[in-house]
Amino acid sequence: MKPVSIGSVVCLVLALAWCEVASAEVFVLSNGGRVVGELLNSDQLPRQTYVIKVQHGGEVTLTAAQVKQILHQRPEELEYEKICPRYGDTIEEQWALAEWCRERYLVDQRKKHLERIIQLDPDHEKARRALGQTLRNGKWMTQKQWMTKQGYRLYRGRYRLPQEIELMERQRKIDTAESEWKKKLSRWRGWLGSDKHAQACREISLIDDPYAVKALAYAMEKDSRQQARVLFVEPLAKIGTPQALQVLAERSLEDPVEEVRLTCLDYLEDTKNPDLVAYYVGKLKSKDNRMVNRAGIALSYVNDPSAVKPLIDALITVHKYKIVKGSPGQMSTTFSNSGAGGLAMGGGAKIVKVPHKNQAVLDALVRLTGGVSFSFDTAAWNYWYTAQRKRGNLDIRRD
């Protein structure tokens, strides 16, 4: 049997749409038409033709190119096609058929008959509500129509204002770009120490995209290789956004290796950024004495006179340490989580307060004040500071 033409198939679709078949599939054609029937040559591989039983043994043969998609029909769909012509074009019978479809979860078929009822009776309340419509201001409309009228759009399963959608789309693009940078940087990090080491260094040094900051921050924190972390500092400084500078500030205090911390500070030196100053000044109040001194070093690099008074206040700081329980009559050295030492005597644990003179803080003060020094005499420092403010000799922006 020869394959039929596309034009002939269209006629067959119209003629055989309601015919009875033992089991049926819908063959969606490339031209938009459909053929309903049973596939007889299902075991043919590779597929060249479709031989379809369409009516009491009648057959249609289609080429593989003519068939775009095959939809498998449920038994309820086959039954629907058989009984549909028996219902008249009246409101009562169309409603009965719509209810029959509802009971069998034939959503599209039910909608067709509900819409026909509306055509016959525009004020049919049950059909309107079944179609998801509500009477608003004298007009029947769906939730989508109502929300659209209010200026909302359906986006990601919810109705949202255009401004919210714009923000979400912008964030989606940011997330996508940041994810791409994380993949790239992960690949280049993998090349470090291999035969692609030079290429990796070159690629990393060329990074200047603000969307790469998160990836660089992650690498600065997670990469255990000291030299790799040093390598990530330059692109962060080159990007220079507030987020990039914040990463450098954090690593300048928290990195376990001094070389990495100082490299970060080299790029932050003399940076006129109030947020950086505020960040380091806040760390002068840390419970960890190491952080207090690291913040002093950082403020020395940043060199902002607004940090003078906070530095004076941090010249001597008091930190609490827990004296651990030892054997009676014995004395042992203990360490707090800040790494500072204390003495423990047997007989029970206790908390002690230990004052620390912070040399790095003093060094920062000397630099910021142009060589003035009262050592750790905080009273002398405060007297001098007050006198300088009265004379207007300091560019102080912080109380």
Domain range 6-73, its CATH number among 2.30.30.100, 3.40.50.20, 3.40.50.300, 3.40.190.10: 2.30.30.100
Query: What is the tens place of the pLDDT at every residue in 194-226?
Result: 999 999 999 999 999 999 999 999 999 999 999
Domain with CATH 1.25.10 in the chain: 177-317+360-391
d(CA 23, CA 34): 16
- DSSP letters, 30-57, are TTS-EEEEEES-TT-SS--EEEEEEETT
Using DSSP, state whether 321 is helix, strand or coil: strand
* Residue range(s) of every CATH 2.30.30.100 domain in the chain: 6-73
Greatest Cα pair distance, the chain, in angstroms, is: 111
Is this prediction's pTM over 0.85? no
- Render pLDDT for 330-369 as a digit per residue (tens, 0 to 9): 444 444 444 444 444 455 678 899 999 999 999 999 999 9
* Residue 244 CB partners (closer than 8 Å, separation 6+): 210, 213, 216, 236, 237
Cα gap 290→22, rounded to integer Å: 83
- Classified by CATH at the fold level, domain 177-317+360-391 comes out as Leucine-rich Repeat Variant (1.25.10)
Share of the chain above pLDDT 70, in %: 86
> Which range has highest mean pLDDT (54-63, 237-246, 334-343)?
237-246
| CA-only gyration radius of the chain, Å | 39
